[in-house]
Amino acid sequence: MIGDPQPPAARRFGRSQGVTLVVLVALLIISGAAAFIANRSQSNSRQTSTASTQTPHGPTQTPVTFAEGNDWPQYRYDVVGTGVNPEKTLTSANVAGLHARWTVKKPQGFYTTPAIVDGVVYAPSGLSLYAIDLLTGATRWQFDGVAERRGGIHSSVAIDQKRKLAFYGTPETRLYAIDIATGTERWVVQLQSPTTGAFIWSSPLVVNDRLYVGLASQGDNPCIRGSVFAIDPDTGKTIWRHYTAPAGVLGGGVWSSLTADPESQTIVATTANPCHGVVYPEEEAFLGLDWNTGATRWSYSVMPFDNNDYGFGEGAVIYTYQGQKYMAAGDKFGKIYAVSPPTSGSTPTLAWSRRLTIADNGKNGGGIFQPATFTQGLVIVGAGYFPAEVPNCFGNLSALRPDTGELVWRTCTADKPIGPAAATGDIIFVSQDGRIVAYKALTGEKVWSAKHVGTSWGGIAISHGIVVVPTVSGTLDSYSL
């Protein structure tokens, strides 16, 4: 992408470049006075029927023709953010047999990772949320949300399988709950007025019988006071709200999607830059919050001073290796960090860090915008170019030892990987420059690739051996054996 117009994901992260919009997938929460839209008229909540909606989707109607496997219920697959579906349908031994299964084309782009549950793909595009049959690509139903001035870039969808609800956030800070059987609205709340600059990039996280989401701004123009919300999934009411910056201070946006450590009952957020030079303790930081109360358990700021918007744009992956727990995430400075949560007190330990690319303040093709994937005992993450180590390479995919950050392998990519990768079996799928590419996770060997129409910033999902790729051109592409 060097020399091309900056993708919305890059703009979103570059305050100094006058960033005003868009993308990734993305992914975050909301601040403010949670204006609860409880009595919104039914005329504002509508379902557009298609021929395929004549038979309502039931949660137990998984077709018997599926390969054995698992659902992909929310961003990064699981609550710890591994990005790995552990099913065994696809491996390096058979991935060469993947072929296009179906392609769905919609008027607006798909900017986020789809959720896949009980044989149905859930993906927002434009003002709509679509339910698409995983086997055939037929649209089961379409829900149309209220018009928004900021366009159609939403967070990824999270499915609450207990309540049969799909949750997703919008640019103007609405959070929707949609009945997945009927495609109708259960509730919608507005977490903060968009006139303040608030924007939901963070994808909702379903865990602990609650819904968690982060809040940031639209490119820090203007800045807001970042925060994390815990939401009642039945009503949309705010249970607690945690601010990442002190009262009267702007910054610390939560662009990234949250993860959770169920063992310690902790919500883990990574936070962005300050807006006034001074970095407060919960800005540019790994942040652990009590998932019941929102109280700070611990925080670790990776950059004590920042005038260049180098904070985190993606969330942490939580993993355990040889009995030690780690939380790893990369920032726009181009560095990936792994911290170990404290056994007591409030200060995590920095286990390791490694520079994978040059810094990126929104213009020069560096930085880390992809969440790390933990698979096959390795931390794998895509980043921008690194002239000192990878000349003539527009992007790179690096595999690191989980306990030391030592480089195990690195391969060039066609451009800077932005869309979240997805792993299954012994392979990892990464979108880049109009292609989806599969690599052996242990070696970095390329074992399969296919073209798709348009760039993919949203992230790949895998379920029952079917790989689904969203693109900003408005297509959902699927591949299967």
pLDDT digits (tens, 9 = 90+) for 113-143: 999 999 999 999 988 999 999 999 999 999 9
Convert 226-259 to b/e letters by CB count within 10 Å (16 or more is b).
bbbbbbebeebebbbbbbbbeeebbbbbbbbbbb
The domain that contains 245 carries what CATH number? 2.140.10.10
Contact by Cβ (8 Å): 295, 267: no
**Number of structural domains, the chain?**
1
Contact by Cβ (8 Å): 26, 155: yes
Let me know if residue 62 belongs to a domain: no
Distances from the Cα of 291 to the Cα of 179, 272, 363, angstroms: 25, 20, 37
Q: Which of 8-17, 399-408, 423-432 has the lowest mean pLDDT?
A: 8-17
State the chain's mean pLDDT as an integer: 85
pLDDT at 149: 84
Q: H or E segment at 9?
A: helix 8-12
Would you call 118 helix, strand, or coil by DSSP? coil
pLDDT at 6: 34
Per the structure, the complete domain to which residue 459 belongs is given by 8-53+69-480
Tell which wins on pLDDT, 284 or 346: 284
Rg from Cα positions in the chain: 20
Let me know if residue 254 belongs to a domain: yes
The string of pLDDT tens digits covering residues 197-215 is 999 999 999 999 999 999 9
The confidence band for 375, taking pLDDT boundaries of 50, 70 and 90, is: very high
Give the alpha-carbon dihedral of 134, 135, 139, 141, to 10 degrees.
-60
The string of pLDDT tens digits covering residues 467-479 is 999 999 999 999 9
**In three state form, how does the secondary structure of 324-380 look?**
EEEEEEEECCCEEEEEECCCCCCCCEEEEEEECCCCCCCCCCCCCCCCCEEECCEEE
Nearest to 336 by CA among 314, 362, 304: 314
Let me know if residue 3 belongs to a domain: no
Cα atoms in the 13 Å half-sphere on the side-chain side of 42: 2
Let me know if residue 111 belongs to a domain: yes
The string of pLDDT tens digits covering residues 13-46 is 343 333 333 333 333 333 333 333 333 333 333 4
Question: What's the pTM?
Answer: 0.86
Q: Determine the residue type at 346.
A: S
pLDDT at 44: 37
Would you call 475 helix, strand, or coil by DSSP? strand
Let me know if residue 100 belongs to a domain: yes
